[in-house]
Amino acid sequence: MLAAPKHLIFTSALLLAGFPAIAAEETPGIAPIAAHTAVIKCPGVSSIPFTADEQQALPLRIVGPLSCGDTVAVLSDMEGYTARIRTRGGQEGYVARLYLAMDADATTTMAPETVTPSSAIALNGVARWESGAPGCDQFVSHGRHIESITANGITVQVSVQDSGWKYRASVAISNQSGENVDVQTGIVTLDELQPNLRPLAATKTAKVAHTPSHQVLWTLADAVPSPSAVASRSGAAPVAKRSSYRISPSTDYLSPKLTLVSGRPAVFARSESVDIEAISLKSASLPTGQTSAGVMWFDRDGNARELTMRVPLGDTIFDFAFSLNEKK
């Protein structure tokens, strides 16, 4: 997972005055810090998760609405995944640090050529996801890490979760190519790269739908972008900075279409309110200007560390790199 940006946007004393006595009223147990403020930045969505849970585990415990452009006070920042903040209305909770614009000079110090271009280049018919590469994006939405590749007018977005029984992959395809695109689920693949090199077979949706004793909608671990998939670009700005301050980040095509109730319940049961057939990825001819999204399930290896998912569309294979480092 990429390191979160280590910079803060500082605003004027007038802006700070809008927050109620932060230094004097700090919550016990957290060391007081200078009253810094930050601005909420959103990667193509109108709002972001603002939770009571520092780890932001699923299901999310939402504190309240938090919109793009909101100014918040940073109460505690240990440079981990989340930072503790307070809104102008006095609500306190946690947001992922990647949503906090923390450097007033970032947008001015970045040279125009370091901004990530909008289309990936397919080499030998394969468009590979690499952090910081042209046409590649990554962001967190509803507690999921999402990788996005745009090439030849087609955007494909993928997130992968470990349910403890199967790997669950959410896939979205947005076709802006000017032509119909054939989506064929039978040729979408998930492979384990480390510690073993082997394919992970897809599970038929009908089998998943008729297996109520297994946790098909659980999330024991969320796959993150592989640290080995980083574009080599001499003279470019740090990857975290490019990701946070891109001019036009990708739209989240997976949300709200596939926002599943997928925490780890206390008992071995799954919610029957979710229609597995309805949310599964379908094979179809996708017209230009339209988007298709759905879920697929694959065999699981509890020791897997590195995964690669391939989504062939037309003459291009969209290749995504994920890492599962949590002990399962």
Per-residue pLDDT of the chain in tens (328 residues, 90 and over written 9): 444 444 433 333 434 444 444 333 444 443 344 447 888 876 555 567 788 888 877 777 888 767 777 788 888 877 677 888 888 777 888 888 878 876 443 333 233 333 344 689 899 999 999 988 889 998 887 778 899 999 999 999 999 999 889 999 999 999 988 899 999 999 999 999 999 999 999 999 988 888 765 678 888 889 999 988 876 543 333 444 434 333 335 678 886 656 554 455 544 444 446 788 888 999 999 998 899 999 999 999 989 999 999 999 999 999 999 999 754 4
Do 67 and 205 sit in the same domain of this protein?
no
pLDDT at 123: 92
Same domain, residue pair 272 and 241: yes
Whether 1 and 94 share a structural domain = yes
Query: What token pair was written down for 60?
Result: 């999310």
Specify if 134 maps to a domain.
Answer: yes
Encoded tokens for 152: 């030849």
CB proximity list for 122: less than 8 A, separation 6 or greater? 151, 152, 316, 317
Domain boundary among 89, 109, 129: 109
| Within-domain flag for 30 | yes
In terms of domains, do 141 and 171 share one? yes
300 is written with which tokens?
Answer: 């699981």
Q: Let me know if residue 14 belongs to a domain.
A: yes
Judge if 131 and 267 occupy the same domain: yes
In a domain, 216, yes or no: yes
Q: Look at residue 220 and tell me if it is in a domain.
A: yes
Domain that includes residue 69, residue range: 1-109
168 and 96, same domain (yes or no): no
Asked if 258 and 303 sit in the same domain, the reply is yes
Same domain, yes or no: 136 and 271: yes
Q: Are residues 163 and 276 in the same domain?
A: yes
* Per-residue tokens: 241: 């900075």
Domain's final residue, options 87, 109, 131: 109
Q: Select from 82, 109, 136 the last residue of a domain.
A: 109
The reply to whether 328 falls in a domain is no
297 shares a domain with 161: yes
**Rounded (5°) CA angle 152-130-81:** 125
Count of the separate structural domains present in the chain: 2
How much is the pLDDT for 257?
57
pLDDT at 301: 93
310 and 184, same domain (yes or no): yes
Backbone angles phi, psi at 279, to 5 degrees: -90, -5
Contact predicate 179/191, CB 8 Å: no
Query: CATH number of the domain that 87 lies in?
Result: 2.30.30.40
Do residues 218 and 75 share a domain? no
Supply the pLDDT for residue 160.
Answer: 95
